[in-house]
Amino acid sequence: MSLFKNIFSKDKKETLDKGLEKSKSSFFGKLTKAVAGKSKVDDEVLDNLEEVLVTSDVGVDTTLKIIERIEERVSRDKYLGTEELNSILREEIAGLLSETHVGEEEEFILPADTKPYVIMVVGVNGVGKTTTIGKLAHQFKKQGKKVVLGAGDTFRAAAIDQLEVWAQRVGVPLVKQKMGSDPASVAFDTLNAAVADEADVVLIDTAGRLHNKVNLMNELSKVKRVMQKVIPDAPHDVLLVLDGSTGQNAFEQARQFTKATEVSSLAVTKLDGTAKGGVVIGISDQFQIPVKYIGVGEGIEDLQVFNKYEFVDSFFKI
Protein backbone atom coordinates (compact mmCIF):
# COMPACT_ATOMS: atom_id res chain seq x y z
CA MET A 1 0.00 0.00 0.00
CA SER A 2 1.53 3.28 -1.15
CA LEU A 3 0.44 5.11 2.01
CA PHE A 4 2.77 2.93 4.08
CA LYS A 5 6.00 3.35 2.14
CA ASN A 6 9.07 2.37 4.13
CA ILE A 7 10.79 5.45 5.55
CA PHE A 8 12.87 4.05 8.41
CA SER A 9 16.07 2.08 8.06
CA LYS A 10 15.81 -1.68 8.62
CA ASP A 11 17.41 -1.47 12.11
CA LYS A 12 15.17 1.38 13.27
CA LYS A 13 12.09 -0.41 11.95
CA GLU A 14 13.05 -3.63 13.76
CA THR A 15 13.52 -1.67 17.01
CA LEU A 16 10.09 -0.07 16.56
CA ASP A 17 8.44 -3.42 15.78
CA LYS A 18 10.03 -4.97 18.86
CA GLY A 19 9.15 -1.97 21.05
CA LEU A 20 5.46 -2.19 20.13
CA GLU A 21 5.27 -6.01 20.37
CA LYS A 22 3.37 -6.08 23.69
CA SER A 23 0.86 -3.47 22.54
CA LYS A 24 0.34 -5.22 19.22
CA SER A 25 -0.09 -8.69 20.77
CA SER A 26 -2.62 -7.38 23.29
CA PHE A 27 -4.55 -5.49 20.62
CA PHE A 28 -4.72 -8.37 18.16
CA GLY A 29 -5.70 -10.80 20.89
CA LYS A 30 -8.72 -8.60 21.65
CA LEU A 31 -9.46 -7.93 17.97
CA THR A 32 -9.48 -11.66 17.13
CA LYS A 33 -12.11 -12.24 19.84
CA ALA A 34 -14.10 -9.23 18.64
CA VAL A 35 -14.55 -10.61 15.12
CA ALA A 36 -14.69 -14.34 15.98
CA GLY A 37 -17.31 -16.11 13.87
CA LYS A 38 -18.05 -12.97 11.86
CA SER A 39 -17.36 -12.56 8.15
CA LYS A 40 -18.91 -9.10 7.70
CA VAL A 41 -18.33 -5.83 9.55
CA ASP A 42 -21.73 -5.22 11.15
CA ASP A 43 -23.02 -3.27 14.17
CA GLU A 44 -21.96 -6.00 16.60
CA VAL A 45 -18.41 -6.07 15.21
CA LEU A 46 -18.24 -2.26 15.45
CA ASP A 47 -19.46 -2.36 19.06
CA ASN A 48 -16.82 -4.96 19.88
CA LEU A 49 -14.16 -2.96 18.04
CA GLU A 50 -15.09 0.13 20.06
CA GLU A 51 -14.47 -1.83 23.26
CA VAL A 52 -11.13 -3.15 21.92
CA LEU A 53 -9.91 0.39 21.14
CA VAL A 54 -11.02 1.84 24.48
CA THR A 55 -9.40 -1.01 26.45
CA SER A 56 -6.21 -0.54 24.36
CA ASP A 57 -5.90 2.99 25.83
CA VAL A 58 -6.76 4.80 22.61
CA GLY A 59 -9.23 6.90 24.63
CA VAL A 60 -13.01 7.25 24.31
CA ASP A 61 -13.14 10.40 22.13
CA THR A 62 -10.54 9.16 19.66
CA THR A 63 -12.15 5.71 19.57
CA LEU A 64 -15.50 7.28 18.60
CA LYS A 65 -13.79 9.19 15.76
CA ILE A 66 -12.20 5.98 14.46
CA ILE A 67 -15.51 4.06 14.69
CA GLU A 68 -17.27 6.89 12.83
CA ARG A 69 -14.70 6.73 10.04
CA ILE A 70 -15.11 2.95 9.75
CA GLU A 71 -18.93 3.27 9.77
CA GLU A 72 -18.61 5.61 6.77
CA ARG A 73 -16.52 2.98 4.99
CA VAL A 74 -19.09 0.29 5.82
CA SER A 75 -21.95 2.42 4.47
CA ARG A 76 -20.02 2.95 1.21
CA ASP A 77 -19.19 -0.75 0.87
CA LYS A 78 -22.09 -2.79 2.24
CA TYR A 79 -20.18 -6.06 2.20
CA LEU A 80 -17.00 -5.09 3.99
CA GLY A 81 -15.39 -8.28 5.32
CA THR A 82 -13.81 -8.66 8.75
CA GLU A 83 -10.58 -9.82 7.05
CA GLU A 84 -10.25 -6.27 5.70
CA LEU A 85 -10.69 -4.68 9.14
CA ASN A 86 -6.97 -4.58 9.93
CA SER A 87 -6.02 -2.68 6.77
CA ILE A 88 -8.98 -0.31 7.21
CA LEU A 89 -7.92 0.43 10.80
CA ARG A 90 -4.39 1.15 9.60
CA GLU A 91 -5.63 3.59 6.96
CA GLU A 92 -8.15 5.39 9.15
CA ILE A 93 -5.81 5.78 12.14
CA ALA A 94 -2.99 7.02 9.88
CA GLY A 95 -5.52 9.47 8.39
CA LEU A 96 -6.54 10.65 11.85
CA LEU A 97 -2.90 11.16 12.87
CA SER A 98 -2.27 13.07 9.62
CA GLU A 99 -4.44 15.86 10.99
CA THR A 100 -1.78 16.51 13.66
CA HIS A 101 1.38 15.23 11.94
CA VAL A 102 2.37 16.67 8.61
CA GLY A 103 5.97 15.49 8.35
CA GLU A 104 7.46 12.13 7.52
CA GLU A 105 10.80 12.70 9.22
CA GLU A 106 13.16 9.91 10.12
CA GLU A 107 15.89 12.12 11.57
CA PHE A 108 16.17 14.48 14.54
CA ILE A 109 15.97 17.81 12.71
CA LEU A 110 16.68 21.30 14.06
CA PRO A 111 15.45 24.42 12.23
CA ALA A 112 18.36 25.85 10.24
CA ASP A 113 17.42 29.47 10.93
CA THR A 114 17.39 29.34 14.76
CA LYS A 115 20.60 29.09 16.74
CA PRO A 116 20.72 28.15 19.50
CA TYR A 117 17.42 26.30 19.34
CA VAL A 118 16.06 26.14 22.90
CA ILE A 119 13.99 23.15 24.04
CA MET A 120 12.41 23.34 27.48
CA VAL A 121 11.53 19.84 28.67
CA VAL A 122 8.59 19.42 31.07
CA GLY A 123 6.79 16.46 32.69
CA VAL A 124 6.18 14.83 36.07
CA ASN A 125 8.91 12.92 37.90
CA GLY A 126 9.46 9.34 36.79
CA VAL A 127 8.30 9.63 33.17
CA GLY A 128 11.81 9.40 31.73
CA LYS A 129 12.35 13.14 31.30
CA THR A 130 16.07 13.22 32.11
CA THR A 131 16.72 10.07 30.07
CA THR A 132 14.88 11.62 27.11
CA ILE A 133 17.06 14.75 27.39
CA GLY A 134 20.20 12.58 27.44
CA LYS A 135 19.11 10.56 24.42
CA LEU A 136 18.12 13.70 22.50
CA ALA A 137 21.51 15.23 23.30
CA HIS A 138 23.15 12.07 21.93
CA GLN A 139 21.14 12.24 18.70
CA PHE A 140 21.98 15.90 18.09
CA LYS A 141 25.66 15.40 18.98
CA LYS A 142 25.78 12.47 16.53
CA GLN A 143 24.66 14.90 13.83
CA GLY A 144 27.62 17.13 14.64
CA LYS A 145 25.57 19.70 16.56
CA LYS A 146 26.92 21.58 19.58
CA VAL A 147 24.65 20.78 22.52
CA VAL A 148 24.35 22.42 25.95
CA LEU A 149 22.28 20.96 28.81
CA GLY A 150 20.74 22.93 31.69
CA ALA A 151 19.90 21.24 35.01
CA GLY A 152 16.77 23.29 35.75
CA ASP A 153 15.17 20.69 38.03
CA THR A 154 16.77 22.06 41.19
CA PHE A 155 14.15 20.55 43.51
CA ARG A 156 15.74 17.09 43.42
CA ALA A 157 19.46 16.47 43.88
CA ALA A 158 19.01 13.18 42.01
CA ALA A 159 17.76 15.06 38.92
CA ILE A 160 20.95 17.16 38.76
CA ASP A 161 23.16 14.10 39.34
CA GLN A 162 21.32 12.04 36.74
CA LEU A 163 21.63 14.77 34.10
CA GLU A 164 25.33 15.12 34.92
CA VAL A 165 25.80 11.39 34.25
CA TRP A 166 24.10 11.80 30.87
CA ALA A 167 26.16 14.90 30.00
CA GLN A 168 29.37 12.96 30.71
CA ARG A 169 28.14 9.91 28.81
CA VAL A 170 27.21 11.92 25.72
CA GLY A 171 30.16 14.30 26.05
CA VAL A 172 28.30 17.62 26.20
CA PRO A 173 28.56 20.52 28.69
CA LEU A 174 26.09 20.83 31.56
CA VAL A 175 25.18 24.07 33.32
CA LYS A 176 24.08 23.45 36.91
CA GLN A 177 23.77 25.07 40.32
CA LYS A 178 23.29 23.53 43.74
CA MET A 179 20.03 21.90 44.78
CA GLY A 180 17.39 24.46 45.80
CA SER A 181 18.70 27.14 43.44
CA ASP A 182 16.32 29.24 41.39
CA PRO A 183 15.49 27.24 38.19
CA ALA A 184 15.14 30.48 36.22
CA SER A 185 18.69 31.41 37.22
CA VAL A 186 19.94 28.06 35.88
CA ALA A 187 18.08 28.67 32.60
CA PHE A 188 19.60 32.17 32.35
CA ASP A 189 23.13 30.84 32.88
CA THR A 190 22.56 27.97 30.44
CA LEU A 191 21.40 30.24 27.61
CA ASN A 192 24.28 32.68 28.19
CA ALA A 193 26.74 29.75 28.05
CA ALA A 194 25.09 28.43 24.87
CA VAL A 195 25.27 31.83 23.14
CA ALA A 196 28.92 32.29 24.16
CA ASP A 197 29.73 28.76 22.95
CA GLU A 198 27.79 29.25 19.68
CA ALA A 199 25.80 26.12 20.49
CA ASP A 200 23.21 24.74 18.07
CA VAL A 201 20.74 23.41 20.62
CA VAL A 202 19.96 23.85 24.31
CA LEU A 203 18.00 21.28 26.34
CA ILE A 204 16.68 22.55 29.68
CA ASP A 205 15.28 20.21 32.33
CA THR A 206 12.53 21.53 34.62
CA ALA A 207 11.03 20.46 37.95
CA GLY A 208 8.78 17.44 37.64
CA ARG A 209 6.35 18.32 40.36
CA LEU A 210 5.39 21.41 42.32
CA HIS A 211 2.73 21.77 44.99
CA ASN A 212 -0.12 22.59 42.62
CA LYS A 213 -0.91 23.69 39.08
CA VAL A 214 -0.69 27.40 39.96
CA ASN A 215 2.86 26.93 41.31
CA LEU A 216 3.79 24.93 38.22
CA MET A 217 2.37 27.60 35.92
CA ASN A 218 4.17 30.39 37.77
CA GLU A 219 7.48 28.52 37.82
CA LEU A 220 7.44 27.67 34.11
CA SER A 221 6.31 31.20 33.19
CA LYS A 222 9.18 32.66 35.20
CA VAL A 223 11.72 30.34 33.55
CA LYS A 224 10.42 31.43 30.13
CA ARG A 225 10.55 35.14 30.98
CA VAL A 226 14.15 34.90 32.20
CA MET A 227 15.18 32.90 29.11
CA GLN A 228 13.79 35.69 26.93
CA LYS A 229 16.20 38.18 28.50
CA VAL A 230 18.94 36.25 26.71
CA ILE A 231 17.11 34.93 23.63
CA PRO A 232 13.89 36.91 22.99
CA ASP A 233 11.91 34.08 21.33
CA ALA A 234 13.04 31.27 23.67
CA PRO A 235 11.99 28.58 24.31
CA HIS A 236 11.41 27.52 20.72
CA ASP A 237 9.91 24.21 21.76
CA VAL A 238 8.21 23.12 25.01
CA LEU A 239 8.50 19.33 24.97
CA LEU A 240 6.19 17.42 27.32
CA VAL A 241 7.44 13.93 28.22
CA LEU A 242 4.74 11.36 29.03
CA ASP A 243 5.10 7.78 30.28
CA GLY A 244 3.21 5.59 27.79
CA SER A 245 3.04 2.71 30.27
CA THR A 246 0.66 4.71 32.49
CA GLY A 247 -2.08 4.58 29.84
CA GLN A 248 -4.99 6.85 30.76
CA ASN A 249 -2.91 8.59 33.43
CA ALA A 250 -0.76 9.98 30.61
CA PHE A 251 -3.88 11.75 29.28
CA GLU A 252 -4.34 13.39 32.68
CA GLN A 253 -0.69 14.49 32.79
CA ALA A 254 -1.04 15.97 29.30
CA ARG A 255 -4.22 17.76 30.39
CA GLN A 256 -2.53 19.31 33.44
CA PHE A 257 0.61 20.44 31.63
CA THR A 258 -1.19 21.84 28.59
CA LYS A 259 -3.20 23.98 31.02
CA ALA A 260 -0.07 25.06 32.90
CA THR A 261 2.08 26.01 29.91
CA GLU A 262 2.06 26.18 26.11
CA VAL A 263 3.22 22.69 25.18
CA SER A 264 4.33 22.52 21.54
CA SER A 265 5.44 18.89 21.20
CA LEU A 266 5.29 15.52 22.98
CA ALA A 267 7.59 12.60 23.70
CA VAL A 268 5.95 9.33 24.77
CA THR A 269 8.37 7.01 26.59
CA LYS A 270 8.51 3.42 27.89
CA LEU A 271 6.39 1.94 25.09
CA ASP A 272 8.54 -1.19 24.95
CA GLY A 273 7.48 -2.46 28.38
CA THR A 274 3.74 -1.98 28.03
CA ALA A 275 0.63 -3.09 26.18
CA LYS A 276 -0.68 0.50 26.31
CA GLY A 277 0.91 1.78 23.07
CA GLY A 278 -2.53 2.85 21.82
CA VAL A 279 -2.17 5.86 24.12
CA VAL A 280 0.06 7.50 21.46
CA ILE A 281 -2.86 7.55 19.02
CA GLY A 282 -5.29 9.03 21.56
CA ILE A 283 -2.95 11.66 22.97
CA SER A 284 -1.87 12.82 19.52
CA ASP A 285 -5.50 13.17 18.43
CA GLN A 286 -7.00 14.63 21.61
CA PHE A 287 -4.47 17.36 22.30
CA GLN A 288 -3.69 18.24 18.68
CA ILE A 289 -0.03 18.54 19.70
CA PRO A 290 2.45 16.59 17.57
CA VAL A 291 4.16 13.58 19.12
CA LYS A 292 7.79 14.24 18.11
CA TYR A 293 9.57 11.34 19.79
CA ILE A 294 8.78 7.89 21.17
CA GLY A 295 10.85 5.73 23.51
CA VAL A 296 10.86 2.08 22.38
CA GLY A 297 13.73 0.67 24.43
CA GLU A 298 16.35 1.40 27.07
CA GLY A 299 19.31 1.80 24.72
CA ILE A 300 20.75 5.23 23.88
CA GLU A 301 19.54 4.82 20.27
CA ASP A 302 16.03 3.72 21.29
CA LEU A 303 14.48 7.19 21.29
CA GLN A 304 12.99 7.54 17.82
CA VAL A 305 11.46 10.34 15.82
CA PHE A 306 7.73 9.58 15.72
CA ASN A 307 6.54 8.82 12.22
CA LYS A 308 2.82 8.15 11.94
CA TYR A 309 3.09 5.72 9.02
CA GLU A 310 5.87 3.65 10.54
CA PHE A 311 4.12 3.60 13.93
CA VAL A 312 0.76 2.48 12.53
CA ASP A 313 2.45 -0.03 10.23
CA SER A 314 4.31 -1.60 13.20
CA PHE A 315 1.23 -1.50 15.45
CA PHE A 316 -0.94 -3.32 12.89
CA LYS A 317 1.67 -5.60 11.37
CA ILE A 318 0.41 -9.19 11.39
Query: Which residue did the predictor score with more confidence, 121 or 207?
Result: 121
Pairing of strands 237-243, 201-205: unpaired
- What sign has the CA pseudo-torsion 125, 162, 263, 234? positive
- Spans of all domains in the chain: 8-98, 117-307
Starting at the edge strand found earlier in the chain, the sheet holding 147-150 runs 174-175, 147-150, 201-205, 117-122, 237-243, 265-269, 291-295, 303-305
Q: pLDDT (tens digit, 9 = 90+) per residue, 187-238?
A: 999 999 999 999 999 999 998 775 567 787 888 999 999 999 999 999 999 9
Which CATH homologous superfamily contains domain 8-98?
SRP54, nucleotide-binding domain (1.20.120.140)
Is residue 100 pLDDT above 80, yes or no? Answer: no
Q: pLDDT (tens digit, 9 = 90+) per residue, 11-35?
A: 888 888 899 999 989 988 888 888 8
DSSP assignment, residue 291? Answer: E
Which CATH homologous superfamily contains domain 117-307?
P-loop containing nucleotide triphosphate hydrolases (3.40.50.300)
Output the pLDDT for position 1.
40
Output the pLDDT for position 83.
80
- What sign has the CA pseudo-torsion 156, 204, 9, 280? positive
Task: Quote the radius of gyration of the chain (alpha carbons, Å).
Answer: 21
CA angle 298, 301, 302 (to 5 degrees): 45
Is residue 9 pLDDT above 50, yes or no? Answer: yes
